[in-house]
Amino acid sequence: MSFREHIEKMPNLVRIKKKVSTNLEASAVINELADKPVLFENIKESEFKVCANIFPTKQSVADYLGCKVDELIPTLTKAIENPTKPKIVEKAPCQEVEMKEIDLDKIPILFHLKKDGGKFITSGVVIAKHPKYGQNLDFHRSMQIAKNKFSIRIVKNRHFDTFLNEQKKMPMAICIGNGAEVLNAAATSVEIGQNELEIANTLKPIRVVKAKTFDAYIPADCEFVLEGTIDLEELADEGPFVDLTETQDIIRQQPVFTVTKITHRKDAIWQALLPGKLEHKILMGMPREPTIFKKVNEAGVKCLDVNVNPGGCSWLHARVQIDKQTDEDGKKAIEAAFEGHKSCKHVFIVDKDIDIYNDQEVEWAMATRFQAHKRIVIHEKEKGSSLDPSAKSETHYTTKAGFDLTAKLHTEGKNFSKAEFPKANLEDYLE
């Protein structure tokens, strides 16, 4: 089932027939709908439809991948460890129509928030190639600066940045309108040289096709493909932009992507992603959970579950549930979690009786099982996330902290378990 077939079949899909503008109006409606998927059928500035909120919860991703929510970490882990080759096709839906002229104003790119620097592509999967490493997939928010140009946000020292620094000028494609297998594969951080399309294919079989202007494979069933060249020497302002933390990121000079070819499906659907909201958070945080899970287990601590939770912007905080065997397990798990997600700022380790999806339970563990002078691990002046407004602007230096909220194994007379209250069936008492 392709992405568009999936949208059409969603039982809770909200169809909006009224004419809606890409300028602040669509983003307002997406925000109000929160976790409900939406299809705008009539866009004021464009002939194309726009969809959003397609994968705003773990449940929606699990439904698409055909697994249960508690199987997501093993499913993602299996895909990262067992990449498989997608089927190659000669003719692809994403190349059905080739636009005669390059005019980005014909595409429904959204202007999300009034203080943003422009219209941004936020859901696009970027595909680039390197002579030694092969293909890379990732995301780069792209601000439209002309009818054929974007300035592209490139975080330093990630694979795309390495590709561009070594090649100076390189072809790339932005693919829009993808299912959860391609989106989540692109959002993982794996070894350089690992083609994330092969991770996507293990999550759910996909088809790929050769790009039109360079020797790379792209998802055949996506909705739009923007191909062109990015040049390290051509720079332009990028931003301001409200990102994952729902705070405004600064204006930076960033490389320009010049679009030379646009292809799309007949009656293509544009995939929007509202920055900072649920769908963005799931896509950022969820692919970090398997990497944390793996590192904690490798450190010899039995990890049961990980939640890179929305309260921590689905990026800066991780809650890790362990089956504690020794008094050192908490601190070992903290160090391992930081290894598994380098941008994480605060890690919370809890016992198996604490529900890591329940804020009150995690706070209860902190209130009853934690002593700051003994159970806190502080990493001062470490490189953190470029998204953290409280980190130093240029270097991203930050103070990381790990909180061991697990109960002591030897309780010295005290009890750290939640008491069991007597149960009653209220129907027997209320009339």
Ligand X SMILES: Cc1cc2nc3c(=O)[nH]c(=O)nc-3n(C[C@H](O)[C@H](O)[C@H](O)COP(=O)(O)O)c2cc1C
- Positions touching ligand X (CB under 6 A) are 136, 138-141, 153-155, 158-159, 187, 189, 280, 283-284
**268 CB contacts (<8 Å, ≥6 apart)?**
48, 49, 97, 177, 223, 224
DSSP per-residue string spanning 267-321: T-EEE---TTSHHHHHHHHGGGHHHHHHHHHHTT-EEEEEE--GGGTTTTEEEEE
Shortest gap between Cβ of 152 and ligand X (angstroms)? 7
**Which uninterrupted H or E stretch holds 80?**
helix 72-81
State which H helix or E strand residue 3 sits in.
helix 3-9
Pairing of strands 252-264, 149-152: antiparallel
CB 139, min distance to ligand X, A: 3
Question: CB 101: neighbour CB atoms within 10 A?
Answer: 8
- For residue 268, give the nearest of 119, 108, 419 by alpha carbon: 108
Q: Closer CB to ligand X, residue 53 or residue 406? A: 53
We find the least distance from the C-beta atom of residue 406 to ligand X, in angstroms, to be 31
In the complex with ligand X, the residue whose CB is nearer, 139 or 348, is 139
Query: CA-to-CA distance for 303 and 351, rounded, in angstroms?
Result: 10
- C-alpha to C-alpha distances, 327 to 44, 101, 299, 351, nearest whole angstrom: 61, 65, 14, 12
CA distance 7 to 218: 21
Task: Check: CB of residue 122 under 8 Å from CB of residue 272.
Answer: yes
**Closest CB 156 distance from ligand X, rounded Å:** 8
For ligand X, give the closer residue by CB, 159 or 345: 159
Locate 259 and state its tokens.
């679009």
If the CB atoms of residues 171 and 285 are measured against ligand X, the closer one turns out to be 285
105 is catalytic: no
Q: Output the smallest distance, CB 133 to ligand X, in A.
A: 10
Residue 401 Cα to chain centre, angstroms: 23
Q: Which is nearer to ligand X, 243 or 351 (CB)?
A: 243
Q: Residue 377 and residue 268: Cα distance in Å, rounded?
A: 50
Query: Smaller CB distance to ligand X: residue 139 or 224?
Result: 139
> Which residue lies nearer to ligand X by CB, 160 or 403?
160
Nearest 10 degrees: Cα torsion 67, 69, 72, 74: -90
Distance of closest approach, residue 63 Cβ to ligand X, in angstroms: 19
Pairing mode, strands 125-130 and 269-271: unpaired
CB of 284 to ligand X, least distance (A): 5
Q: Per the residue annotation, which of 116, 138, 221, 243 is the catalytic one? A: 243
Active-site amino acid positions = 243
